[in-house]
Structure 1
Amino acid sequence: MKIGQWVLAVGYPLTLETTVTAGIVSAKGRTLDINRRQSQTPIESFIQTDAAVNPGNSGGPLINTDGQLVGINSAIASPTGSYAGYSFTIPVNIVKKVVNDIMKFGTPQRAFLGISYPRDDMSEDQKKEAGIKDGEGVYVMDATADGAAAHAGIKKGDVITKLNGINVVTGAEMVGQIATYSPGDKITVTYKRDGKESTVPLTLRNNSGTTAVVKSSALDKLGAKLETLSKKEATSLDVKGGVAVRDVTENGLMDKSRVQEGFIILKANGQEVHSVEEFQKAGGESNRHDQAGRRLPWIRRSLYLSVAHLLGQLIP
């Protein structure tokens, strides 16, 4: 897709029957920050068009003038709730990847670089303080220890400029490209460090830092980012291992249970857990009849807290 290319949106807007509207691609790699309420790591890399889209268009196709599907209409930006000139579409390459994963595995297989990068809403003062320059690429604010990027030698302060030779300028563009790959896929990443550009091979991983197939789990609804506790952290806390809570979504299950960032999960359903995989397995063995007996022991530094019924809330 190219900026200025003509596209057609097809759908059932408002109370109308099948309707076709026309417009052009006005931008690519747009992020609206509308999916953060559903995920700590949302994929937002929309195609922006000025084809008229209204409630009832969501899920309908965006096609080019050759009749080829280029995306699925998903959102609008509007002060009134009705079309005001800006519509947003999920790119077809992401749609195709998700559909294929659901058919093959039952759930999407999400790949991660294992980095954190600046949010679009960062102020200019915050960017200046961190040494972030717009237009150069994606600034690496941190690289997860067991993530794909760290294993490839990428670290805090690097600026990612290309993925498989394709330029990336914003985090949304980078996420949109990574969303078309699966854990275990090999790509090349080009980055700048101290003014020098380097290209390294990299094997993408899942959110747990492995290349294993991820099965759908009720634990996905916890509303938090979980990581396996590092050996260094485990030693400092005098425990054998555990699962660290890195981020907690506002109003998610963990947030409602007063679990905070920095807590460490030690047990789930009475079983010791030393990794995210063990935690998922322990949670998966729950059933709707044993809610009263479920407890999750946690520690935060020297504080020990028991949170009851958390896993019980996950069962529909």
Structure 2
Amino acid sequence: MKKILTLVFVSVLGGIITLSAYKLFVEPDSTIASNIENTSPFFVPTANYDAKTTNLLNTESPNFIKAADKTIHAVVHVKNTAVISGPVTFEDLFFGRKSERAQIGTGSGVIISPDGYIITNNHVINGAKEIGITLNDNRIYEAELIGTDEKTDMALLKIKADDDLPYITFGDSDQAQIGEWVLAVGNPFNLTSTVTAGIISAKSRDLSGRNSQSFIQTDAAVNPGNSGGALVNVNGDLIGINTAITSQTGSYIGYSFAVPSNIARKVVEDIMEYGDVQTGILGVTGGPLNSKAAEQFGVKDTQGFYISSVEEDSGAEKAGIQSGDVIKRIDNVDISKFSDLSGYLSTKRPNDVVNVTITRDNKTKVLPVTLVKNLTVDLPILGRVKDAKTSDLRKFKVKNGVKIAQLDGRYASNWKANGIEEGCILTAINGVEINSIEEAKRVIDNKSSDEPLKFEIINKNGEKENFYWR
């Protein structure tokens, strides 16, 4: 028993000694190590940064609340009621009824003034017998069609309201930048007051293949029903009218396209002031450059618009622009393709002056050019015609007519085989005497689809000939 007590005493004493030694010698070192491990590291920057520079940690997500609040009440629902000819049934024939049916289409529109002017796409209201407008507060109005422009796919409507309406102000689409945040506001699938966000993916896009369009491309979701709606920047300024999507399904799959606001605004102003769109032209033809084309034409520029020909009596000819010149810039807009050129000129009118920067023989020149009205018009089968000078008429001993500037390439050999070439005079269409290209276009536009086409032309020998097409 005494041995057991002695063993317990020795064990307890040994534990006390061990614990005392740990407290005295080991624990302070551990505490120091622990403090070192928990101290936050301090990094010394190796480059200088402006204190105002935004870094990834401080970047704020874009806020669209202000833009949406400014625009959502100014975007309307457009209902187009058209009358179309449907398939003829046995009952129609038996009862002598017309096979006409009402067809309803929908889209969007943008109020651009407090007194009720609304801009939308021409294809939204095309063929409409009635146009209905529903505001965001569910008020419904019947709209008056003020005017349209098929080329830019724009239309101007007007409603009469008892009080001032919310509206969106035009922004400057030329100042819009690739990568800039935008909102698309509209009524997709008849869902009113819908807002989607994206960025500007590209500018001056042409979807026609004819270099006649100049769209803003975005990745904001746009679907059927959005057409005619607003594309706005983060300030709520109108920078485009949503018009088209690229899709194999008919619905949005990645990209949408808007008519730039500067073009839309000019169309609206022209319709209100002149009744139609005034087009100012430069008077050049050609194409965009790349390294292969530059080698072919013998120029060093691989970007820009190469001029292959200059129209007679055009502003470009009078300003001294020549075949072989390369257009690099117009005013403050860089030109790398024809849609850049056509898009900017679509915002101009006859008699406007633009500063054209060209390169010629490796030298740069800036030439002021006064734009003129369209000098030519394309006629079916025949080709391009222009107003004739007095000397042209005197040469063929006629008192009226327009001059054939270029034959339609598909039928040029047939025309020439019959003694018709560039420079001959077209004097009448379907029995109507022609004195200008405007008159020629008017006769063609007013011709019914089943009416035959008759051209009266003075051939190269000065003989009058008639040509018919059905």
Question: What TM-score results when the alignment is normalised by the length of structure 2?
Answer: 0.51
Instruction: Map Cα deviations across residues 6-56 of structure 1 (whole Å, 9 max, x no partner).
Output: 10111222343332111000111111126x5xxxxx641111100011221
Count of residue correspondences: 278
Aligned residue number for residue 369 of structure 2: 202
1:71 is matched with: 240
Instruction: Encode CA deviations 1:136-170: one digit per residue, 9 max, x unaligned.
Output: 32111211112111111101110111212432222
Q: 1:60 to 1:271 in 2, by over 3 A?
A: closer
Q: Specify which of 90, 104, 109 is matched with residue 259 of structure 2.
A: 90
Cα displacement (A) at 1:85 = 0.8
Show the counterpart of 1:47. 216
What is the rounded CA distance, in whole Å, between the counterparts of 1:146 and 1:104 in structure 2? Answer: 27
> Are the aligned partners of 2:291 and 2:302 in contact in 1 as well (CA < 8 Å)?
no
The structure number with the bigger radius of gyration is: 2
Letter of the 1:29 counterpart: S
User: Residues of 1 paired with 2:439 and 2:327: CA distance?
Assistant: 33
Q: State the identity %.
A: 39
Which of 16, 32, 50 matches 2:207? Answer: 32
Which stretch shows the higher mean deviation, 128-137 or 14-23? Answer: 128-137
For residues 220 and 98 of structure 1, do their structure 2 counterparts lie closer, same or farther at Cα, with a shift above 3 Å needed?
A: farther
The amino acid across from 2:179 in the alignment is G
Matched residue SS, 1:14? helix
- Structure 1 pair 31–271 and aligned structure 2 pair: CA distance change class (3 A): closer
Structure 2 unaligned runs (5+)?
1-175, 411-419
Given candidates 317, 342, 350, the residue that maps to 1:150 is 317
1:9 is the counterpart of 2:169: no
1:167-316 mapped onto 2 (5 Å cutoff): 167-208=334-375, 225-229=384-388, 238=396, 240=398, 242-244=402-404, 246=406, 248=408, 262=422, 264-268=424-428, 273=434, 275-276=436-437, 279=440, 283=443, 295-299=454-458, 301=460, 305-308=465-468
Greater helix share, 1 or 2? 2
Q: Which has the higher contact order (CA 8 A, sep 6+)?
A: 1
Aligned to 2:81: none
- Aligned alpha-carbon RMSD (Å): 3.7
Unaligned regions of 5+ residues in structure 1, if any? 37-41, 210-218, 251-259, 311-316
Deviations 1:63-111 (Å, cap 9, x if unpaired)? 1111111110111122333212111111101100000000000000011
Secondary structure of the corresponding residue to residue 372 of structure 2: coil
Query: What pairs up with 1:106-185 in 2 under 5 angstroms?
Result: 106-118=275-287, 128-131=295-298, 135-185=302-352
Structure 1 residue matching 2:264: 3-state secondary structure: helix
1:101-146, Cα deviation, whole Å (9 max, x unpaired)? 0000000001100011216xx9976664334667532111211112
Counterpart code for 2:247 = S
Counterparts in 2 of 1:195 and 1:132: CA distance versus 1, 3 Å: closer
Q: Can you list the C-alpha shifts for 1:268-315, whole angstroms capped at 9, x where unaligned? A: 26576565366568x49x899xx89x84312565696523589xxxxx
Report the Cα distance in structure 2 between the residues aligned to 1:243 and 1:55, rounded to whole angstroms.
44
- How many angstroms apart in 2 are the aligned matches of 1:265 and 1:92? 41
Q: Residue type of the partner of 2:283?
A: G
Partners of 2:293 and 2:359 in 1: how far apart? 21
Contact 2:199 2:220 in 1 (8 A): yes
Q: Given residue 180 of structure 2, which amino acid in structure 1 is its aligned partner?
A: Q
Find the residue that maps to 1:118 and give its secondary structure.
Answer: strand
Q: Indicate if the aligned counterparts of 2:403 and 2:424 stay in contact, CA closer than 8 A.
A: yes
Q: Distance in 1 between matches of 2:177 and 2:397?
A: 54
| 2: CA distance, partners of 1:277 / 1:232 | 20
CA distance in 2, matches of 1:247, 1:60: 41
State the AA in 2 paired with 1:33. Answer: S
CA, structure 1 residues 300+262, in 2 after alignment: closer, same or farther (shift >3 Å)? farther
CA–CA distance in 1 between the matches of 2:300 and 2:460? 36
Is the 8 Å Cα contact of residues 385 and 402 (structure 2) preserved in structure 1? no
SS of alignment partner, residue 172 of structure 1:
helix
Q: Which whole-Å CA distance do the structure 2 matches of 1:14 and 1:261 have between them?
A: 53
Aligned counterpart, 2:46: none
Amino acid at match of 1:87: S
Residue 103 in 1 paired to residue 278 in 2? no
Secondary structure at 2:278 match in 1:
coil
